Structure 1
Amino acid sequence: MIRKSIKECSECASKNIYRDVEKGETICRDCGLVIEDRMVDFSQEWRSFEDDGGAQKRRTGAPSSQTQFDQGLGTEVGTTSDFYKLGSDRERDKFFRLRKWNIRISTAIERNLKVALAELKRVSSFLRLPRSVEEEAARIYRLAVQKGLVRGRSMESVIAGALYAACRRHEIPRTLDEMGEASGIEKKEIGRTYRFVTRELGISIKPSNPADYIPRFASALKLSPETQSKSVEILEMARDVELTSGRGPTGIAAAALYVASLIHGEKRTQREVADVAGVTEVTIRNRYKELIKKLKLSKQVEKSKKK
């Protein structure tokens, strides 16, 4: 809400109004009435208060983040450029040593977090995941470290498992194959670690919705919005007859997209669809047969072939 500026004193109608920013008060210079007090200062908060700060003034630091080993709450002993403003070499060397010891990490957990969170950022960047997923994955990894769940497992596999769990919680469709490609860990190992970590930490994960994978698969296959909508419709029909239960979400989503592409005359081979979805042609073929049979779609497919 934007407040209107006070133009005259309510006591003496004077327009000689003074606003004291430091005290947070608006005062009438003529009668001394405090017109307004406890005002919020919306100006910038400078961290540097030297008179010669000028354009070099720095504001408060970045917000706290789970993706930093100290959660962004640590302090720094100046910057390298600041040290060269010191008078003598002795003073400069002293602050260089202080800075070096200040940034050193003391505990084993902190050392682990610094390396692990750098790896988490790398994998997240490779997969183009949003910041919210990155933060959630970092939080999960921290909890795993604190409870000793990382012991006996590779750091990379726990990071991949945490990222996969975060993706599932935020309904960001990423497959274990994609996680494996990004992290260099086998998808079976990622799956095992993911299940172990979520079970031990009591993290509830909703079942994957096959429809979440449709936009990405359709985009990779260059299919039209009509085909994409049809595949979502097929998945809804499949869910109603419980055809999606007990089946991998990527396989059933890819098969629905394959059927929709046939119906709309945008034929793609089973191999093309399988490669995009990260499943085998056999999976596509089996899910395709089930969809055609259970949903009675054979007539629609045959009709499109005759066009």
Structure 2
Amino acid sequence: MAAALDCLELIGDQLELSKEARLRAAELYADVALKGLNDGRRTEDVVSAVVCLVTRQAGEPVPITRVATQIRRGPVDVGRVMKKIQRELKIERTDCLPESYVRSLCTPLGCDSDTVEGACELVQSARETGLVDGRNPVGVAAAAIYLVETEEQTQREIAETAGISRETIRVRLQEFRQGGIVDA
């Protein structure tokens, strides 16, 4: 448990998690440990999965790729553990809207509040027209940030922060333009 709490503090510091999120993550990890769901799994994978679940429940999700990068693991490993925890503890699946990722992506990029607001407005417009249906919400959020923040951030920086490819951003940008969300 001590190793898990140390790992949680490290991830919490790197992701700038609130005290409440860290406390909730520690509580959820304790539930996982009591059920024996951490047996045979890397502590870092379990802690990362718990962090992802807690931030999703709080409505401010951190992309799984970003969390996995902090511990130098693949997002598939963390995602697998996350699904196992959800299934075994009967945690309701939380669907995250693209605008809920905007703030967690803007924070490490150093974006101002105008960028956050502008990107959220773009995402909401895209959602109203159905452009985000079936799309990775992180990719939609990243493209919206890029559209609002073109002078400050490169596609590469935004893609790396979001844990997606630059091609994903380019495809979402093209869809925004074709859907009339932004000028071509």
Same fold (TM over 0.5): yes
Alignment equivalent of 2:84, drawn from 178, 196, 201: 196
Distance 2:128 2:181 in 1: 14
What amino acid is the match of 1:249? P
Distance 1:179 1:268 in 2: 21
RMSD over aligned CA atoms reads 2.4
Please tell me whether residue 127 in structure 1 is matched to residue 15 in structure 2.
Answer: yes
Please tell me whether residue 246 in structure 1 is matched to residue 131 in structure 2.
Answer: no
Alignment equivalent of 2:167, drawn from 275, 282, 287: 282
Partner of 1:137: 25
Please tell me whether residue 167 in structure 1 is matched to residue 55 in structure 2.
Answer: yes
Relative to structure 1, is the Cα distance of residues 207 and 268 closer, same or farther in structure 2, using a 3 angstrom cutoff? same
Give the structure-2-normalised TM-score: 0.85
Alignment equivalent of 1:292, drawn from 156, 172, 177: 177
What amino acid is the match of 2:122? I
What amino acid is the match of 1:190? V
Q: For structure 1, which segment, 279-288 or 221-230, has the greater mean C-alpha deviation from structure 2 after superposition? A: 221-230
What percentage of aligned pairs have identical amino acids? 29
Distance 1:139 1:219 in 2: 25
How many aligned positions are there? Answer: 184
Deviation string, structure 1 residues 135-156 (Cα, Å, up to 9, x no partner): 2112222222222212232222
Partner of 1:156: 44
**Greater relative CO, 1 or 2 (CA 8 Å, sep 6+):** 2
Q: Which has the higher helix share?
A: 2
Instruction: Kindly state the Cα deviation for residue 178 of structure 1 after the two structures are TM-superposed.
Output: 2.2
Please tell me whether residue 230 in structure 1 is matched to residue 138 in structure 2.
Answer: no
Distance 2:37 2:107 in 1: 38
Distance 2:75 2:91 in 1: 20
Distance 1:257 1:296 in 2: 14
Alignment equivalent of 2:2, drawn from 105, 114, 119: 114
Relative to structure 1, is the Cα distance of residues 174 and 224 closer, same or farther in structure 2, using a 3 angstrom cutoff? closer
Q: Secondary structure at the match of 1:298?
A: coil
What amino acid is the match of 1:270? Q
> Are 1:116 and 1:155, in contact at CA under 8 Å, matched by a contact in 2?
yes
> Are 1:237 and 1:295, in contact at CA under 8 Å, matched by a contact in 2?
no
Q: Secondary structure at the match of 1:137?
A: helix
Instruction: Kindly state the Cα deviation for residue 248 of structure 1 after the two structures are TM-superposed.
Output: 1.7
Instruction: Kindly state the Cα deviation for residue 121 of structure 1 after the two structures are TM-superposed.
Output: 2.4
Distance 2:52 2:33 in 1: 17
Larger Rg: 1
Which ranges of structure 2 fall in alignment gaps of 5 or more residues?
A: none
Alignment of 1:1-307 (within 5 A): 113-218=1-106, 221=109, 225-261=113-149, 266=151, 268-299=153-184
Which ranges of structure 1 fall in alignment gaps of 5 or more residues?
A: 1-112, 300-307
Instruction: Kindly state the Cα deviation for residue 227 of structure 1 after the two structures are TM-superposed.
Output: 4.3
Give the structure-1-normalised TM-score: 0.54
Deviation string, structure 1 residues 214-251 (Cα, Å, up to 9, x no partner): 24544555656544433222111111122223222221
Q: Secondary structure at the match of 1:206?
A: coil
> Are 2:65 and 2:162, in contact at CA under 8 Å, matched by a contact in 1?
no
Distance 1:219 1:163 in 2: 17
Relative to structure 1, is the Cα distance of residues 161 and 294 closer, same or farther in structure 2, using a 3 angstrom cutoff? same
Q: For structure 1, which segment, 217-226 or 199-208, has the greater mean C-alpha deviation from structure 2 after superposition? A: 217-226
Distance 1:204 1:145 in 2: 19
What amino acid is the match of 1:175? P
